């Protein structure tokens, strides 16, 4: 998500909330209250949805970094651990 689209999204949510507040002040009675409630609610729902969207995008970026790291580590040769001495269970070790 670009900075411009982020600014437009959160700015639109703020405009909805401010428009709701303005409607509550400008219009008296039930229609003004209902319009204010709807606009303010839409603004807060939009802002909450955008926050969750941002969190999801950051998790996707983190998963992509982890995948790149694991692919890079698979491409580098690993040292093999030294071979372990074989031993049969229940029998003492034999010294050579």
Looking at residue 3, its pLDDT comes to 87
Full-prediction pTM beyond 0.85?
no
Mean pLDDT, residues 81-88 taken together: 68
Q: What region, left, alpha or beta, does residue 29 occupy, with left being phi > 0 and alpha being psi -120 to 50 degrees?
A: left
Residue ranges per structural domain of the chain: 3-73
Note whether 39 and 6 are within 8 A (CB).
Answer: no
Please tell me the predicted confidence (pLDDT) of residue 85: 66
């Amino acid at each position: 998500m670009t900075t411009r689209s982020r600014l437009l999204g959160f700015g639109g949510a703020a405009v909805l909330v401010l428009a709701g507040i303005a409607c509550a002040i400008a219009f008296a009675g039930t229609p003004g209250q209902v319009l204010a409630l709807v606009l303010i609610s839409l603004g807060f729902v939009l802002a909450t949805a955008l926050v969750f969207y941002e969190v999801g995008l950051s998790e996707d970026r983190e998963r992509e970094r982890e995948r790149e790291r694991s692919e890079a580590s698979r491409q580098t040769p690993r040292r093999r651990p030294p071979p372990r001495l074989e031993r049969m269970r229940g029998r003492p070790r034999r010294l050579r």
